[in-house]
Amino acid sequence: MRQSRGMRRRAVALALAASLLVLAACSGGDGDGGSDGAAAESTATTTREDRLYILVTNGEGTGSAGLAPLVDALFTQPGVSVGVAAPDSPLVPPPALAPGQVPTVTFTTTPTGYPAVAVAADSADTVRAALSGELDGMPDDLGTPDLVVAGVNTGQLIGSLAEFSSNVPAARAAAAEGIPALVVAQGVDTEPPEYTAGAAEAVAWLDEHRDAIVAGDEPAQVTLLNVPSCATGEHRGVVEVPIAADDAGRSLALVDCASTAEDPADDVAAFTTGYATLSVLPTADGPAPAGGDATTTTAGG
């Protein structure tokens, strides 16, 4: 079990941390997320030993449309506490932080009312600061997060698009510190994208991997989850596939959720024929682990 860094915070930061824990406790599986939960008051206490601590971030900022449904979904899971931190200027990220520099934060909420901190840093530095134990507003009495989830990204990250998101550097920053990371990306086949589908599949992934995460056996790698927004029907399930090594001349945008194609060879083939995809992203300085055959892991979302 990771231990608390025992850092002291100013009173306002402690108050926000306490509110995060109250929200998580009040949302334990009753399905009532959103602003009503944010306004809840409780004197209940929560101990580190019986909770999974997840840091949620989004390179698109605390006000991003994809962040809110992801946070809402994770907050309603039993035995889960969530801290939320994201860049305060996603469109114009500031210069990288100097070693040891602690960024300033603004206390805010997600669009559905959950406490969050907007950080004056890019997405990777935001995560590094949150993991360091030095960032005001994080529930530091829980210690280091067990998992970092970045998203929900607006747009699929398949094939050559897999690297083109500020959520990827955020997740890699976590993996570099030995923390498993999940990047959730939502296809833009509908307007608006069906972010709740991506959030639901993130919860399904968490359910499947929770025991390994708690035991410390989940690899400290970046897993990429792409979920299509089907204009009609639902996606065809989740398949584990490698990221396409070559997508030249292949459409990365057209998605046919009614396709009957089977056994996709890579994420492009799978996603464009209606599957949600799970792939392992390469580290910043090396290839991804070799992928096996595509395997359907869940039903439609």
Question: Residue 31: is its pLDDT beyond 80?
Answer: no
> Per the domain annotation, does 4 fall within a domain?
no
> Per the domain annotation, does 215 fall within a domain?
yes
> Per the domain annotation, does 250 fall within a domain?
yes
Question: What value does the mean pLDDT take over residues 179-197?
Answer: 95
Predicted pLDDT at 113? 95
Contact 153, 60 (CB under 8 A): yes
Predicted pLDDT at 30? 40
> Per the domain annotation, does 35 fall within a domain?
yes
Rg (CA), the chain: 18
Higher pLDDT, 19 or 88: 88
pLDDT band at 48 (very low <50, low <70, confident <90, very high): low
Q: Domain tally for the chain?
A: 1
Question: Residue 102: is its pLDDT beyond 70?
Answer: yes
> Per the domain annotation, does 95 fall within a domain?
yes
> Per the domain annotation, does 127 fall within a domain?
yes
Dihedral-angle region of residue 100 (phi above 0 means left; psi in -120 to 50 means alpha; beta otherwise)? left
> Per the domain annotation, does 1 fall within a domain?
no
Range of the domain at 231: 11-295
Higher pLDDT, 158 or 2: 158
Question: Residue 37: is its pLDDT beyond 60?
Answer: no
Burial 243-268 (b: 16+ CB within 10 A, else e): bbeebeeeebeebebeeeeeebebbb
Predicted pLDDT at 232? 86
Q: What is the CATH number of the domain that holds 126?
A: 3.40.1210.10
Question: Residue 4: is its pLDDT beyond 60?
Answer: no
* 3 state SS of 279: strand
Question: Residue 277: is its pLDDT beyond 60?
Answer: yes
> Per the domain annotation, does 203 fall within a domain?
yes
Predicted pLDDT at 50? 61
> Concatenated DSSP letters for 83-132?
EEEEES-TTSPPPPPPTTPPPPEEEEE-TTS-EEEEESS-HHHHHHHHHH
